[in-house]
């Protein structure tokens, strides 16, 4: 479907330094498995799965490591062929620990376990949906934009869905994962979206992409000619276009009510890499055991887009990119806006890891903060129309109830307010603290 319009959400948001040039023309390369991987048994929103292997077992790439759990979960597969050498508690970027399987990689490599490809065209609509949901569950697919919500649950929604949007906004600076995937695997992106669209019975689909990725957009528009119900939708470059509700507002001008899911306005949103993984799982029987990660920033010698086996450490990826350019750069896992700075480089790459950004001192936000001069820029950019200055003033005075009244719980933690603050106040940190206190008091 042809579509040359450029859209954006109406109020708030800001323009960030993009820094995508570092890696936008760098093809995705496969990182060879390191000597040992530590695969967390929880790489999804929910609870850890129970291990289905024991120490000394030989496992193949793609083999299930764990699938049972009491609650929301996604299946975890091995990303390498090798021997289970132990169990450990891996530390994640947010300082939580999670039970993990340590696997020593076979030097010889080894073959991959594949599922049987599905011939979707032979199925009735009901069977089609059931088959797709079953396959995404078997393949351990979760939302790869960072939220890691299990996709098979998302596809099982009871809400009537009329539109499926693929989120290729990728509004975080530096990161070019979706950018490269849209350039290199546009056919798979459309194929994956079409599978999801038909599975949930939606009549139309969009692939939304910011205009700061012209190559990807051009490629999407070419492929869109082959799909009558799917259009490429260009978006203005504005942070946070990748936030689900704002993406929907921009593309369809529908506003998802507070505390509701996109299903309530008939929309399902998936990440670019997620639909690629769905296409892989359905057509080629491949499970999700590796993901594309952008290793970038001026602190890394050779910025790259890497296909990294899950469980390889952050340090492995940095080493593969030639190490750092300056002593002790700030290592950020995720994007520079919402990501977390880490010290311990043994943290494993998981399904949630979209970027590893090494920031030099000049790039890093290190200014000391000053008094608020009430310039109102935080309010201006807040995509949720909240007053971050007032919320944080309440939080800092332990007036949590008032902070909640001012919109604390509606905050999506995009960090735009803190980015623009001329007084360099750590607003997001204070908001996160306030949210934590509010949640704790609610429990009590």
Binding residues vs another protein (CB under 8 A): 11-12, 14, 16-17, 95, 173, 245-246, 249, 255-260, 328, 330, 332, 334-341, 343, 357, 359, 363-365, 367, 370-377, 379-380, 383-387, 389-390, 406-407, 410, 415, 418-424, 426, 428-429, 432
How far, in Å, CA of 355 to CA of 39, rounded?
Answer: 18
- Taking the complex as a whole, how short is the minimal distance between the CB of residue 396 and another protein, in angstroms? 14
Q: Decide whether 170 or 194 has the Cβ nearer to another protein.
A: 170
| Burial class, 110, CB count within 10 angstroms (exposed 0-12 / middle 13-18 / buried 19+) | middle
- Taking the complex as a whole, how short is the minimal distance between the CB of residue 125 and another protein, in angstroms? 32
How many angstroms from the chain centroid is the CA of residue 162? 24
Q: Decide whether 219 or 245 has the Cβ nearer to another protein.
A: 245
Contact 271, 148 (CB under 8 A): no
Q: Decide whether 251 or 421 has the Cβ nearer to another protein.
A: 421
- Taking the complex as a whole, how short is the minimal distance between the CB of residue 282 and another protein, in angstroms? 34
Question: 58 — phi, psi (to 5°)?
Answer: -95, 130
Strands 267-271 and 204-210, how do they pair?
A: unpaired
Residue 402, strand partner residues:
none
- Taking the complex as a whole, how short is the minimal distance between the CB of residue 242 and another protein, in angstroms? 14
Q: Decide whether 49 or 333 has the Cβ nearer to another protein.
A: 333
Q: Decide whether 3 or 360 has the Cβ nearer to another protein.
A: 360
Residue 348, strand partner residues:
313
Q: Decide whether 17 or 214 has the Cβ nearer to another protein.
A: 17
Of the candidates 380, 355, 310, the one whose C-alpha atom is nearest the C-alpha of residue 40 is 310
- Taking the complex as a whole, how short is the minimal distance between the CB of residue 422 and another protein, in angstroms? 4
Token pair listed for 297: 């920033």
- Taking the complex as a whole, how short is the minimal distance between the CB of residue 284 and another protein, in angstroms? 36
- Taking the complex as a whole, how short is the minimal distance between the CB of residue 372 and another protein, in angstroms? 5
- Taking the complex as a whole, how short is the minimal distance between the CB of residue 312 and another protein, in angstroms? 22
Q: Decide whether 307 or 370 has the Cβ nearer to another protein.
A: 370
Q: Decide whether 336 or 348 has the Cβ nearer to another protein.
A: 336
Q: Decide whether 108 or 371 has the Cβ nearer to another protein.
A: 371
| Burial class, 428, CB count within 10 angstroms (exposed 0-12 / middle 13-18 / buried 19+) | buried
| Burial class, 371, CB count within 10 angstroms (exposed 0-12 / middle 13-18 / buried 19+) | exposed
How far, in Å, CA of 280 to CA of 428, rounded?
Answer: 37
Token pair listed for 61: 């790439």
- Taking the complex as a whole, how short is the minimal distance between the CB of residue 394 and another protein, in angstroms? 10
Token pair listed for 359: 């920031």
Q: DSSP letter string over 336-404?
A: TTT-EEES-TTPBP-TT--EEEEE-TTTS--PPP-------HHHHH-TT---HHHHHHHHHTT-HHHHH
How far, in Å, CA of 35 to CA of 113, rounded?
Answer: 20
């Amino acid at each position: 479907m042809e579509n040359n319009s450029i859209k954006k959400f109406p109020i708030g948001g800001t323009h960030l330094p993009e820094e995508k040039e570092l890696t936008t023309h760098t093809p995705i390369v496969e990182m060879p498995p390191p000597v040992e991987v530590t695969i967390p048994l929880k790489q999804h929103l929910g609870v850890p799965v129970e291990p289905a292997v024991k120490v000394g077992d030989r496992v193949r790439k793609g083999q299930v490591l764990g699938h049972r759990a009491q609650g929301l979960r996604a299946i975890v597969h091995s990303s390498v062929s090798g021997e289970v050498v132990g169990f450990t508690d891996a530390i994640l970027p947010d300082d939580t620990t999670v039970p993990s399987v340590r696997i020593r990689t076979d030097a010889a490599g080894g073959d991959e376990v594949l599922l049987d490809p599905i011939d979707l065209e032979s199925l009735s609509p009901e069977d089609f949906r059931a088959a797709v949901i079953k396959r995404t569950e078997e393949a351990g697919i979760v939302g790869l934009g960072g939220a890691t919500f299990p996709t098979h649950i998302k596809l099982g929604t009871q809400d009537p869905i009329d539109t499926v949007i693929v989120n290729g906004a990728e509004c975080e600076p530096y990161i070019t994962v979706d950018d490269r995937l849209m350039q290199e695997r546009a056919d798979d992106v459309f194929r994956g979206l079409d599978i999801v669209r038909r599975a949930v019975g939606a009549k139309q689909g969009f692939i939304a992409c910011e205009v700061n990725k012209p190559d990807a957009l051009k490629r999407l528009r070419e492929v869109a000619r082959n799909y009558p119900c799917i259009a490429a939708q260009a978006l203005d470059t504005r942070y946070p276009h990748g936030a689900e509700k704002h993406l929907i507002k921009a593309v369809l001008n529908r506003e998802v009510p507070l505390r509701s899911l996109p299903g309530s306005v008939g929309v399902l949103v998936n990440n670019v890499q997620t639909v690629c993984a769905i296409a892989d799982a359905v057509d080629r029987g491949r499970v999700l055991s590796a993901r594309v990660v952008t290793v970038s920033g001026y602190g890394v010698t050779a910025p790259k887009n890497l296909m990294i086996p899950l469980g390889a450490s952050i340090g492995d990826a940095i080493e593969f990119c030639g190490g750092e350019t300056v002593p002790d750069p700030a290592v950020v896992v995720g994007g520079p806006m919402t990501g977390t700075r880490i010290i311990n480089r043994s943290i494993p790459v998981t399904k949630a890891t979209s970027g590893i950004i090494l920031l030099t001192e000049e790039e890093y936000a290190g200014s000391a903060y000053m008094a608020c001069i009430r310039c109102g820029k935080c309010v201006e950019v807040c995509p949720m129309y909240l007053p971050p200055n007032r919320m944080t003033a309440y939080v800092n005075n332990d007036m949590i109830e008032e902070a909640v009244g001012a919109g604390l719980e509606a905050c999506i933690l995009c960090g735009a307010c803190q980015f623009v603050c001329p007084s360099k106040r750590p607003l997001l940190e204070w908001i996160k603290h306030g949210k934590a206190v509010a949640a704790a008091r609610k429990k009590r």
